[in-house]
Amino acid sequence: MAAVAAAQVPALLAQARDELGADPFERIGEGTHFAQPALFCASLAHYERAGRPAAAMLAGHSLGELAALVAGGALDPEQGLRLAVVRGRLMEAAAQRSPGAMLASLGGEEGTVREIAARFGLTVANDNAPGQIVLSGAADGIGEARAELRANGAKAIRLPVAGAFHSPLMADAAAAFAVALAEHEFRPPALPVYSSTAAAPFADVRAGLVAALTEPVLWRRTLAAMSAAGAATFLETGPGDVLTGLVRRTLPKADARSLAESEAVGA
């Protein structure tokens, strides 16, 4: 990711270094305040390297919404990076004030997963695909839910993240992020950009970006809405291929591709 960012978006990477006081890729494992700007830069770098592929609609998963809005022309890359820096700092600070954790449930009956989440006071943070739900909340509840899910035959994996993202424990960060967003102007995007918390094109960009801090990522519903709007081919333009796998699980008849896969084949 670092090499592609340096080659494709050097000015953006220089801006990130100035705002953070360090290269975000060199310290990406040290916290959300480095990881989010790094991932934002990487997403746009890979998009640029692909030649800005033509699209009928766009979507981003969580932080990826900022890159999708830039690709859709709603804001400039420099603005998007500033917001990624602020977002990362605010979420990390909120996690330090209200410690939490996240847990991926793979397999298992969906109703059972949701019932276990409710019983231990957890939020369904990501509804990613059939058989893949991520829970978020207090660390004790996550530990109890993990044991319960395993007892019910699901694979439960605690995620290596610093807090309970996409849950009410991020409320302080959301309030502060709303203030930061008010300082930025957004243009109407040139094509529909889907909010992954509303599973519909952004109606109010600021409100949607704030909601993404405390509300669940409805990725399965977002993909279904895009499919219903006519999307038959999905191209993942970021540095990985995780979202491509989620598309294939959710929409098995769709043509799902990733630049990462194509580059690996080409190599």
DSSP string, the chain: -HHHHHHH-HHHHHHHHHHHSS-TTTTGGG-HHHHHHHHHHHHHHHHHHTT----S-EE-STTHHHHHHHHTTSS-HHHHHHHHHHHHHHHHHHHHHS--EEEEEESS-HHHHHHHHHHTT-EEEEEEETTEEEEEE-HHHHHHHHHHHHHTT-EEEE---SS-TTSGGGHHHHHHHHHHHTTS--PPPSS-EEETTTTEE-SSHHHHHHHHHHS-B-HHHHHHHHHHTT--EEEE-SS--HHHHHHHHH-TTSEEEEHHHHHHHH-
pLDDT for position 162: 82
Active-site residue identified among 62, 136, 167, 258: 62
Query: What CATH number corresponds to the domain at position 107?
Result: 3.30.70.250
Q: What is the pTM of this model?
A: 0.94
pLDDT in tens, 43-79: 999 999 989 999 999 999 999 999 999 999 999 999 9
Residues 125 and 222 in one domain: no
pLDDT in tens, 204-240: 999 999 999 999 999 999 999 999 999 999 999 988 8
Active-site residue identified among 136, 166, 195, 196: 166
Residue that is last in its domain, among 113, 134, 158? 158
Residue that is last in its domain, among 116, 140, 158? 158
Residues 187 and 119 in one domain: no
- Residue 62 falls in the annotated catalytic set: yes
Q: Is the pLDDT of residue 267 over 70?
A: no
Residues 105 and 92 in one domain: no
Residues 19 and 133 in one domain: no
Whole domain around residue 186: which residue ranges? 2-97+167-266
Residues 218 and 248 in one domain: yes
